[in-house]
Chain A
Amino acid sequence: MLDPMLDPMLQLKNLSYVYDEAVALDNVNLTVAQDEIVCLLGASGCGKTTLLRIVAGLISDYAGDLLLDGRDLRRLPAHERGFGLMFQDFALFPHMSVSDNIAYGLRRRRMAASDIAQRVEEMLDQVGLAGYGGRSIGTLSGGEQQRVALARSLAPEPRLLMLDEPLGSLDALLRDKLALELREIIHSAGLSALYVTHDHREAYAIADRIALMDKGRIRQFARPFDLYHHPQDKHVARFLGFSNIFRFGDNRFTRALRHKFAPDAAESDAFLIHPDGIELGDGGGSTAIARRGQIESAVFRGEYSEVRIRLPQDGLTLSCKSRDGNPAVGSKPTVHVKREAIRRLN
């Protein structure tokens, strides 16, 4: 893949937006390259939907620049941008059939009726709803509505597809399956996409790059792999579900870690002990720091167990994964923390 920073199709420069005297977006910088899927990841109220609405053209009184292929978009109204937006509540037109919903964007582009009919059939096929064209919206299930909404936003072949929590209303099992399907569809259509979600697993699965947002700011903008392995600060680490966050001066154990693995760090520096770098049992090797711990809790998750283990001598508790069955609560395995587990945080 080309370096996305060099080839931005969509570019947000120092974008800020104030709504009701509260800062909704604060100096956001973001790029989306051709054929790239960028996820906006964050808790509700972090500004990700606002950002989507600005790009879509539904909000125009923002500060900063929004550029498409280097062209300023501010004065271009939503209906002339040619973007696609899939709404969280789907926003299907209740007074139109499934076909008419999908055809809506095509009709606005003044396509010939026969081309529209053909394209609608194609789209119905692609989202697995062949034969549903004449149905009315009210008769569809949630999953079917979601597919119609996707088909409607894809049909006009938008330059940029935006999806606002498109899987939000579906149950977890269906979500994993559809996330992959969505990625397939978006890539096979050769689209660029901005994808909003609050679920980091969904973002890992679907994104080429993830912009993690908090309180209107982008905290980290990175590839999923980099985000997972090198969260930039405490907030990002916590949002991604990590809990072993300490300062080097916190206790005996953390000071030992600093002494062995990060001698240049200050006692007040924050760091993460990445669960992937923690091992339970006899392994570990000489490069690791080992301690006797006691299992406080173990939650069986299938392929692994989520374990909280207490180090009594040092007065701290660590979270990690165990792949060797489900350890018994109260048992006392040895904990090995490897060098690569230490991730410095800003």
Chain B
Amino acid sequence: MTRLRRPYWRLVYLVPLTFLALFYFYPLLAILDIGLRPEGWLDLSAFLRLLSSDYYVGVFLFTVYQAALSTVLTLLLALPCAFVFSRYRFAGKSLLLALATLPFVLPTVVVAMAFMSLIGRRGLLNDLLMTLFSLDYSPIQLERTLAIVIIAHVFYNFAIALRIMTSYWSTQGIAAEEAARVLGADEWALWRDIRLPLIQPALLSAGALVFMFAFTSFGVVLILGGIRFATLEVQIYYQTINLFNLPLAAALSLLQIGAMFALMILYTHLQRSAQFAIGSGKAAAKPAKNARERALVWGVVIFIFALLFTPLLALVARSALKDGALDLSNYLALAESSRGSLLFIAPIASVANSLRFALMSTCMALVIGLIASFMIVGRGPLARFVDPLLMLPLATSAVTLGFGFIVALDEPPLNLRSSWLIIPISHTLVAFPFVVRSVLPSLRAIPPSTREAAQVLGAGPYDLLRTIDLPLVSRGIAVGATFAFTVSMGEFGASLFVAQRESVTIPVVIYRLIGDPGLASYRQALAMSVILLLVCALGFVMIERLRVAGVGEF
């Protein structure tokens, strides 16, 4: 491409490559080193011991089990909803579908707090039941059970499954269904012979994605489940922070990385076949015409509201209501550092930290993400393998990244262990793929002739960037920036590893507050969660408004 014909322009390509080398591959290698050569020479015994230990095999199997359970439940619930969404037209449908994706940008700590507010020991439902039936104990005992973890996973992933299946189903014509009906198929046969086989590619693709998210779920399992339900992620954390058994943590990380890469390959494969099989017809959505169909539509709407919004409403209510009246004392308490607390700063101070880090991460993610996007659309020999390379961090769990950071970046020449810089850097690593995915589609959509027309009219490389490329992808950039900001605000897994006492972020503070036994800390956690919820919801609204044109791969 003539735009970057002069060699020195290509030097900016080193920015994302260097960043990845230093903060992704180097930590990954350090994990490999500790896992496979704990004493300085190749020693697979720790790794093999891990593979043969009943306990850790159990941990691995449990990780798979809970992910599979979450996936099956999510798909089972999303399938009928997707059917209704693709077949019926009703007021507010697209708004509901957009709102349903809100959980995607919500931090895990907020979601965990929301479910604790609704169905936790001190939750709204328990309060209600205790008042109603004059009980002196909490009838719902879900905290620290597998059930609440799975429910939270469904909450997180429901919208993704719903969106994938709805959009896939909407492209399938109903001609095959009508043909089967004429040939004598009843409703049951329609599902078995036509609908399920047709939706299968989307079902598999959505399933793989949900499984990946549940497999790497950290915050939800840690907070709602606890050590009794430790997944690989939670074990890595415990082994590192509580037991300081780095070789074991490294070996677990390797297991995790290997599993994730295998899943990623499977997902890419499934997604490709799902795109390939998209039908040509258009299923016309119709208004519900009889009582049964209306009941179906209403049922789905109410279910989605119940699943997605009651936990969030419970959280807000818990934080700001006392005996049915507005009470902001929880928020006012945020300025105080409660005595005996594990925290050394007032919770509110973490808001400043989080905002500062999020702004820095957004800027860095924008620079790296934009350069990376230009690299990918460029015609150079790099482009082909840069795309999957840059997406690797997306397939690596935050806990693995955080663990890699503390084992790799703790000695010269890269000693960032005690620097607050390590937080925005880790957030950038997590956030910049979102910038790439948001910018890439609009960048790819610029026809080559548009750039060439500008060149012939006298635009040099810099003019081209300023007058053509950047204006044409500005929407994508804004979406990417908002994503990066929201992701950084809510980032939990990596931050928990690398945050120092004076540089803690909101999610870390919420986690520490939950860990405190006192009721005061719990109330502070509620208020902090609502603040974080509002910030992320605001980001979500911005993203939804900016991408009206439907650009962006998320």
Which residues of A pack against B, CB within 8 Å? 53, 56-58, 60, 77-85, 87-89, 91-95, 104-105, 108-109, 152-153, 156
Residue contact B467 to A56, C-beta cutoff 8 Å: no
Residues of A within 8 A of B457 (CB): 79, 84, 104-105, 108, 152-153, 156
Residue pairs across A and B with Cβ atoms less than 8 A apart, 30 shown, are: A57-B2, A57-B455, A58-B2, A58-B452, A77-B2, A77-B5, A77-B460, A78-B2, A78-B452, A78-B456, A79-B455, A79-B456, A79-B459, A79-B463, A82-B458, A85-B456, A87-B453, A91-B447, A92-B453, A93-B450, A93-B453, A93-B454, A95-B471, A95-B472, A104-B457, A105-B457, A108-B458, A108-B463, A152-B453, A156-B458
B290 within 8 A of A: no
Among candidates B2, B5, B452, B459, residue contacting A91 with C-beta atoms closer than 8 Å: B452
Question: Interface SS of chain A: helix, strand, loop or mixed?
Answer: loop
Query: What is the chain A residue whose CB lies nearest that of B463?
Result: A108
B449 within 8 A of A: yes
Residue contact A89 to B5, C-beta cutoff 8 Å: no
Total residue contacts A-B, CB cutoff 8 A: 76
CA of A152 to CA of B463, assembled, Å: 17
B274 within 8 A of A: no
B468 within 8 A of A: yes
Residues of A within 8 A of B467 (CB): 93, 104
State how many angstroms separate the Cβ of A76 from the closest Cβ of chain B.
Answer: 12
Query: What is the chain B residue whose CB lies nearest that of A100?
Result: B467
A79 and B460 in contact, given A94-B472, A95-B472 (Cβ under 8 angstroms)? yes
Query: What is the chain A residue whose CB lies nearest that of B453?
Result: A91
**For the complex of A and B, 7 pairs with smallest distance between CB atoms:** A108-B458, A105-B457, A91-B449, A91-B453, A78-B455, A85-B456, A87-B449
State how many angstroms separate the Cβ of A158 from the closest Cβ of chain B.
Answer: 9
State how many angstroms separate the Cβ of B2 from the closest Cβ of chain A.
Answer: 6
Residues of B within 8 A of A87 (CB): 449, 452-453
CA of A156 to CA of B453, assembled, Å: 13
CA of A105 to CA of B467, assembled, Å: 12
A85 and B453 in contact, given A77-B5, A91-B447 (Cβ under 8 angstroms)? yes
CA of A57 to CA of B451, assembled, Å: 13
Apart from A77-B460, A78-B2: 16 A-B pairs, beta carbons within 8 A: A56-B452, A57-B455, A58-B452, A78-B456, A79-B456, A80-B460, A83-B456, A84-B457, A87-B452, A91-B453, A93-B467, A95-B471, A95-B472, A104-B454, A108-B457, A153-B456
CA of A93 to CA of B471, assembled, Å: 10
CA of A153 to CA of B447, assembled, Å: 18
State how many angstroms separate the Cβ of A186 from the closest Cβ of chain B.
Answer: 17
CA of A108 to CA of B467, assembled, Å: 11
CA of A95 to CA of B470, assembled, Å: 11
Residue contact A81 to B456, C-beta cutoff 8 Å: yes
State how many angstroms separate the Cβ of A229 from the closest Cβ of chain B.
Answer: 36
Residues of B within 8 A of A82 (CB): 458
Residues of B within 8 A of A92 (CB): 450, 453
Among candidates A58, A88, A94, A105, residue contacting B458 with C-beta atoms closer than 8 Å: A105
Query: What is the chain B residue whose CB lies nearest that of A58?
Result: B452
Residues of B within 8 A of A94 (CB): 450, 472
Residue contact B455 to A58, C-beta cutoff 8 Å: yes
Residues of B within 8 A of A58 (CB): 2, 452, 455-456
State how many angstroms separate the Cβ of B462 from the closest Cβ of chain A.
Answer: 10
CA of A108 to CA of B459, assembled, Å: 6
State how many angstroms separate the Cβ of B202 from the closest Cβ of chain A.
Answer: 33
CA of A87 to CA of B455, assembled, Å: 12
State how many angstroms separate the Cβ of B118 from the closest Cβ of chain A.
Answer: 46
User: Which residues of chain B (440-494) have a CB below 8 Å from chain A?
Assistant: 447, 449-450, 452-460, 463, 467-468, 471-472
**A53, A77, A79, A156 interface centre (most CB from chain B within 10 Å):** A79
Residue contact B449 to A80, C-beta cutoff 8 Å: no
CA of A53 to CA of B457, assembled, Å: 13
CA of A11 to CA of B465, assembled, Å: 32
Residue contact B456 to A57, C-beta cutoff 8 Å: yes
Query: What is the chain B residue whose CB lies nearest that of A164?
Result: B449
CA of A166 to CA of B144, assembled, Å: 71
Residues of A within 8 A of B455 (CB): 57-58, 77-79
State how many angstroms separate the Cβ of A165 from the closest Cβ of chain B.
Answer: 12
Query: What is the chain A residue whose CB lies nearest that of B449?
Result: A91
**B450, B458, B459 interface centre (most CB from chain A within 10 Å):** B458
State how many angstroms separate the Cβ of B375 from the closest Cβ of chain A.
Answer: 21
Residues of A within 8 A of B456 (CB): 56-58, 78-79, 81, 83-85, 153
